[in-house]
Structure 1
Amino acid sequence: MDKDMGTRDEPGPCAREMRPHATAFVARVTARNRLPLDYSVASLRVVDFLIDGLRKGGADRERARETLLGLGAYVGEVLVRRAGAVWVDLDADQRGYFAQPVGVRMPDGRVWNPLGKVRNRFDTGGPEESLRTFYLTLHGRSRRVVA
């Protein structure tokens, strides 16, 4: 499982809000730019590049908070649409572990933390935190596509 090392200082979104949040985020960022955010696995490379751009542009986590949440929602929605995951509200133990209020449950029952994974990529910037690699090495995903 992926764990965000940050602290949680606000309740944050719930599972039922994540798909609309991702959709609104994509509409907002693609209206101004021609970013290929089409919920494909390949689009996760774009997410890596966007996060790297935020880091290189000097944004701190607080200034980038809303963008990181949008990117995390997008990554989670790719897992929902491409890997058979579902958004879930995390229980108290999971919230403590992941430092996030929501995650995704894979078809095999494993719970993953796309919001935290995005924050980790932002914090470290290393290739080991690639969102595309995260998807490709993810355990418990389904081979079917969910729209």
Structure 2
Amino acid sequence: MSTVDERAPGAREMGPYAAAFVAGVTANNRLPLDYSVASLRIVDCLVDGLRKGGADRERLRGTLLGLGAYVGEVLVRRAGAVWVDFDADQSAYFGQRVGVRMPDGRVWNPLGKVRNRFELGGPGESLQIFYLTLHGRARRAVA
């Protein structure tokens, strides 16, 4: 279990944080980060590339946080989730200050899911599959 990063944005800041991250990483290249479910496959590839590049997690902390914010924002925009600040027990369990709550009340940790993809790799940690198998989504995609 990792310690909670108190420097990470709170729930209210995560949407704007994700938007700023996307604007920054797409400014000089054509990454199709359009908040679609299909774009999560791009995030899988980006994280895999970072992992293969050999940089340590602390050095990539900001990038992984941005990717996690993006994944969470896809859940907000496409699955009906809302950003929430975790309570003390949830923060201790997830190792994060924030996550998302789905329409059915379940909470998920997209920031930790990105961290797991980076640390563990492999298809079992796919962010696109995470979305597609996610419990508690809205029945229809939210615009």
User: Shorter-chain TM-score: which interval?
Assistant: over 0.9
| Structure 2 SS opposite 1:82 | helix
> Normalising to structure 2: TM-score of the pair?
0.96
What is the number of equivalent residue pairs in this alignment?
143
5+ residue gaps in structure 2?
none
Determine which of 39, 47, 56 is the counterpart of 1:43. Answer: 39
1:87-135: per-residue Cα shift (whole Å, max 9, x none)?
A: 0000001001001000000000000000000000000112100000000
| Structure 2 SS opposite 1:8 | coil
5+ residue gaps in structure 1?
none
Distance 2:91 2:133 in 1: 23
Matched with 1:32 is 28
Q: How many angstroms does 1:146 deviate by?
A: 3.0
Higher RCO (CA 8 Å, separation ≥ 6 residues): 1
| Percent of residue pairs identical | 81
In the alignment, structure 1 residue 79 sits paired with structure 2 residue 75: yes
> Normalising to structure 1: TM-score of the pair?
0.93
| Structure 2 SS opposite 1:145 | coil
1:58-98: per-residue Cα shift (whole Å, max 9, x none)?
A: 11101110000000000000000000000000000100100
